[in-house]
Amino acid sequence: MVSANTPAERSASKPAAASTVGSASVSAKSHVLELERVARGDASLRDAPVLQSWLRCLNDYRLDPAQAQQAYIVPETQLKEHRQQAQDLIRIGRSALEGLFRHVMDQHYVLLLSDARGVTVDFLGDPTFDNHLRRAGLYLGSEWSESRAGTCAVGACIVSGDPVVIHQDDHFDTSHIGLTCSAAPVFDTLGDLTAVVDISQLRSPTAKASQQLAQHLVTETARRIELANLMARTRQDWILRLSRSPEFLDVDPEAALSIDGAGRISGMTHGGLRALSRLLGLRAGETRALIGQPVSRLLELEVDDLPRLMRGQPSGERIVRTRASAALFASAVAPVASFRGTAVPVSRVPRPLRELGFGDPAMEAVQLRAMKLAPRDIPILIQGETGTGKEYLARAIHDSRPQPGRFVAVNCAAIPESLIESELFGYAPGAFTGAAPRGKTGLIEAADGGTLFLDEIGDMPLGLQARLLRVLAEGEVTPVGAHRAKPVHFRLISASHHRLDRRVAAGRFRQDLYYRLNAATLALPPLRERQDFDAVTDHLLRRAAEEQGGALRLSPAARLALRAHDWPGNLRELANVLRVAAALADGGEVRPEDLPDMLTGAPGLGAAAADRSGTDRDGMDRSGPRRSGTRDNGTAALPPLRKAGADLRADLAACGGNVSELARRLGVDRTTIHRRLRRLAAD
């Protein structure tokens, strides 16, 4: 800051530099003098968050208190981009925002929803005051980041992550000292700040205490938006809603968690959990670290207990104890995929989608959702372990469309990083040395009018993710070295065996792209979880036999061996095993000797198979969601199994080879039986 005199002197030398709006009772000059005293380290009666923000403005952003800055409104094109990136949240948050606005409109409050960069992406205000509001920056597109606007409620809330009231001359910039603003943060399901809800008034009473109700209202609204966001995004997991009072448990719970099939916390309402942190025994800043942890770290609860907490169960039984020994009311909502008896019977599913499953409930849910999504242009993200049939499903969705056009599949992990850009986007003639003289059409353009299938999207380099996002946002593609963009329209399906939400959390995948890709997620179950395993086996055997020009059946012992394997390679592994078996089989029957040794207990291979049942680099549980979850990892279920010991095969035979039945009788998880069988085979 180049300055010949003090900021207060410079401010005083300007014509009437009081705030441009509102009824500031403080002159610009005395405000600047106060900021100078704080900069010198003098004691101040201001609230700590205000003082901290002032010091950031002075020391970190080097803002000059004497230079009043009018509110900044971002250009139209940038606003469009900000709004597009936040569109899901705007949609999800709308009804909570409208509810809040109805409460405060009579007091002439306006309501802003800003994104994590402080840009106002949604706005509700009285149109009669449009001009005043726009000038004061209380408008769509205004940027309230602290580094640009100085101390303000949205900016301070983004930096601190806490609800905050910035009242009149708490503002740093003299342009804003007439306003009063109350803001609360909205965190996404993984605990990252994603938006801020703010209500502001042009004119307000002098006392800051007058804004206590406003602060309470924005905090409550942010909590409701987090809850709606969690409910909308986590359809495949359990949702556990928590409340201190039974009356509001089902209608307006205080906090919620999502819990995956293995009993781990996969998402949460951050603000709500923080509000309950004392009861939950959480230390400050600990909530975010809960993602991926077993829910039993927080509550005396296993995933198997969730059904007893569902709506309709006696309320006396819907109580959980926290690790701090407090009692909370809890209500569980089952994953959408586990619902049976959906309105549309599977027989109505178009043929390409019908043949993907044979009655497995999780698969049926995928088929029905895929049928509804197929004719619409909603981006679909398919998640599932390797070989579960992600590309198969993508093709079936494509084939179920009335006019499907071309199906262009791109494996983002298989194309070398140096080529992927020109492969996807194409290039203009002479774009680089060695380029084809007439240029090249990229795969995105090739998919125009059809389906673009981006396989292994989780492996796409970060730089290209930004370019892809632009294509999706603008509906245009610009080939490498070209000056003009070409409009493209395609149906996007992407797939990954990585849990993309975890990649986002690890900073390896762009959050904005993730939200764009997964408007709808279809999660394919791993083969070992499928209840239609026998029917899938028969279907694939029939196909393998037809390839050999004949018909085949499975011997009971061979079927038993197939059932006992845990299929880390899923349908691909099963299809390959059956193709080989069909080639080896004699007399129209596949017997155990036609199957690979590892399935029938040849020494040495059990350990290798056991090794494969770990977690991948993202921490994705390759065994996928387990139906009875954490019991498998605990010790409670082990004694009866040890008792079964080496007689396990006999026990299995007594259950007709049905692993699920044996697991039920022994009170353990199916995967435990599979693991034990492998160990027996290796002994």
Ligand X SMILES: Nc1ncnc2c1ncn2[C@@H]1O[C@H](COP(=O)(O)OP(=O)(O)OP(=O)(O)O)[C@@H](O)[C@H]1O
What is the binding site for ligand X (CB under 6 A)?
A: 356, 384, 386-392, 455, 497, 540, 571-572, 575
CB of 569 to ligand X, least distance (A): 8
Position 10, amino acid: R
The whole-angstrom separation of Cα 379 and Cα 493 is 6
Q: Residues 111, 124: contact at Cβ < 8 Å?
A: yes
**Residue among 158 and 620 whose Cβ is closer to ligand X:** 620
Q: Which residues contact 667 (CB under 8 A, 6 or more apart)?
A: 637, 640
CB of 565 to ligand X, least distance (A): 15
**Residue among 119 and 410 whose Cβ is closer to ligand X:** 410
CB of 357 to ligand X, least distance (A): 7
**Residue among 480 and 578 whose Cβ is closer to ligand X:** 578
**Residue among 249 and 454 whose Cβ is closer to ligand X:** 454
**Residue among 374 and 662 whose Cβ is closer to ligand X:** 374
CB of 629 to ligand X, least distance (A): 24
The whole-angstrom separation of Cα 624 and Cα 414 is 24
Q: Residues 627, 530: contact at Cβ < 8 Å?
A: no
Give the single-character DSSP code of 345.
-
Q: Environment class of residue 393 by beta-carbon count within 10 Å: exposed (0-12), middle (13-18) or buried (19+)?
A: buried
Nearest-5° angle of CA 184, CA 190, CA 193?
30
**Residue among 263 and 526 whose Cβ is closer to ligand X:** 526
Alpha-helical (H) ranges within 585-644 are 597-600, 605-611, 638-644
Encode 297-315: b = buried (16+ Cβ within 10 Å), e = exposed.
ebbebbbebbeebeeeeee
Tokens 């980041």 found at = 145
- The phi-psi region of residue 439 (left if phi > 0; otherwise alpha if psi is between -120 and 50; otherwise beta) is left
CB of 495 to ligand X, least distance (A): 6
CB of 524 to ligand X, least distance (A): 7
Residue nearest to ligand X (CB): 389
CB of 497 to ligand X, least distance (A): 5
**Residue among 86 and 571 whose Cβ is closer to ligand X:** 571
Closest CA to 630 of 322, 320, 297, 324: 297
CB of 611 to ligand X, least distance (A): 19
CB of 365 to ligand X, least distance (A): 15
- The phi-psi region of residue 169 (left if phi > 0; otherwise alpha if psi is between -120 and 50; otherwise beta) is alpha
State the number of CA atoms in the 13 A half-sphere of 126 facing the CB.
13
Q: Environment class of residue 186 by beta-carbon count within 10 Å: exposed (0-12), middle (13-18) or buried (19+)?
A: buried
Distances in Å between the alpha carbon of 301 and those of 247, 258, 270, 305? 22, 13, 20, 6
Per DSSP, what are the bridge partners of residue 522? 382
CB of 387 to ligand X, least distance (A): 5
The whole-angstrom separation of Cα 671 and Cα 677 is 10
**Residue among 373 and 397 whose Cβ is closer to ligand X:** 397
**Residue among 176 and 502 whose Cβ is closer to ligand X:** 502
The whole-angstrom separation of Cα 348 and Cα 143 is 50
**Residue among 470 and 572 whose Cβ is closer to ligand X:** 572
Closest CA to 677 of 612, 621, 591, 601: 601
Return the axis-axis angle of helices 212-233 and 87-104, rounded to nearest 10°: 150
CB of 522 to ligand X, least distance (A): 11
**Residue among 129 and 392 whose Cβ is closer to ligand X:** 392
Dmax (CA) for the chain in angstroms is 104
CB of 394 to ligand X, least distance (A): 8
**Residue among 540 and 644 whose Cβ is closer to ligand X:** 540
Other beta carbons within 10 angstroms of residue 244's beta carbon come to 16
**Residue among 244 and 354 whose Cβ is closer to ligand X:** 354
Closest CA to 449 of 495, 496, 398: 398
CB of 175 to ligand X, least distance (A): 55
